[in-house]
Structure 1
């Protein structure tokens, strides 16, 4: 974790990639089309939204996982960045350390790092798996200042709240098609789907004493 460059005397901003910094589902959908499949946005889910054309039942979950892993080996470099994300992070980085925390498969590290750099998001990257509370709390413990966390999934936001309640938490869903489908918990985590507004809210939370 030392390679992340966390400064004890600076605030810390931890941010997710898929559907936060990048339009993951749009890119994954294009990838699936190349395999003769389709992504139906019927719910806020991943593998349960993969179908063969005309099929009534979604693809087998194990096959969905295989395609997900293949996407990160071959297709994730084509993902479009979320509008406004790069500029918002540039502003936040003037006052805080920025770390990208992504639940991507380990083979995706190089491709994901190159994607971040290509889109003006060249910040330290940490890959993890499972709930994000433990790694986020471990990072937050390395600074004496405020910490903020952004993710699209309520489950990860809840995990961070449990692991370190002092971390400011924000939910963001980048793809406008998914915003009405994404579960939210506004009583626990502030939901902001516009990066300009979100960047200002994060900066304000990090400036608190």
Structure 2
């Protein structure tokens, strides 16, 4: 089970370009999405609700304009020879078709599951349907913690693809391994699934 934004795709870069097209600045100063959106030259970020509006618009109109994370396509292709890959994302419902097209365009057209809220309950259901070991990859500690709570048998990896975010992202190394390079992550997954 693998997340999309900041795992398979460089969401922050794509969202930043989308905002620039609207005359805004996207500064990656903190691990808080809506608090990184500014009007040019201003020191206070946009109101949170305005940021949410741009976020929703990005998923409606711009989420197809995102580059794959370096190494992700090749890693999944290699892993798919030994394991079933499921894309597991919290992208809003209106983005389902655009997200599926983006995945297909970048040769990552594996089964796509849209989720809402914490990922642990659904991850537990999906893990119960396989005989071998299951792996979950996400950038957000809240999703990794949810899977740990609901499906502790699932091996969890934190991956943060955007190099600007890597130093800002909260981690919990006592609960989840953190690997931000797809070649290293692929090797760790292969070791896990045997």
- Give the TM-score range, shorter chain: over 0.9
Distance in 2 separating the partners of 1:110 and 1:190: 32
What's the secondary structure of 2:53's corresponding residue?
helix
The Cα offsets for residues 12-55 of structure 1, whole Å up to 9 and x where unpaired, read as xx000000000000010010011111111111111111111122
Q: 1:6 is matched with which residue? A: none
The Cα offsets for residues 98-135 of structure 1, whole Å up to 9 and x where unpaired, read as 00011111010010000001111110111112111111
Distance in 2 separating the partners of 1:155 and 1:167: 15
Q: 1:52 is matched with which residue? A: 39
Q: 2:95 is matched with which residue? A: 108
Moved over 3 A (4+): none
- 2:117 paired with 1:130: yes
- 2:8 paired with 1:21: yes
Aligned alpha-carbon RMSD (Å): 0.8
Distance in 1 separating the partners of 2:24 and 2:90: 24
What's the secondary structure of 2:87's corresponding residue?
strand
The Cα offsets for residues 178-197 of structure 1, whole Å up to 9 and x where unpaired, read as 11111111111000011001
Q: 2:50 is matched with which residue? A: 63
Q: 1:86 is matched with which residue? A: 73
What's the secondary structure of 2:131's corresponding residue?
coil
Q: 2:137 is matched with which residue? A: 150
What's the secondary structure of 1:177's corresponding residue?
helix
Distance in 1 separating the partners of 2:55 and 2:74: 29
Structure 1 alignment gaps of length 5 or more? 1-13
Report the TM-score, using the length of structure 2 for normalisation: 0.98
Report the TM-score, using the length of structure 1 for normalisation: 0.91
- Give the number of the structure with larger relative contact order, counting CA–CA contacts within 8 Å between residues 6 or more apart: 1
Structure 2 alignment gaps of length 5 or more? none
Distance in 2 separating the partners of 1:137 and 1:203: 21
- 2:10 paired with 1:37: no
Distance in 1 separating the partners of 2:20 and 2:58: 12
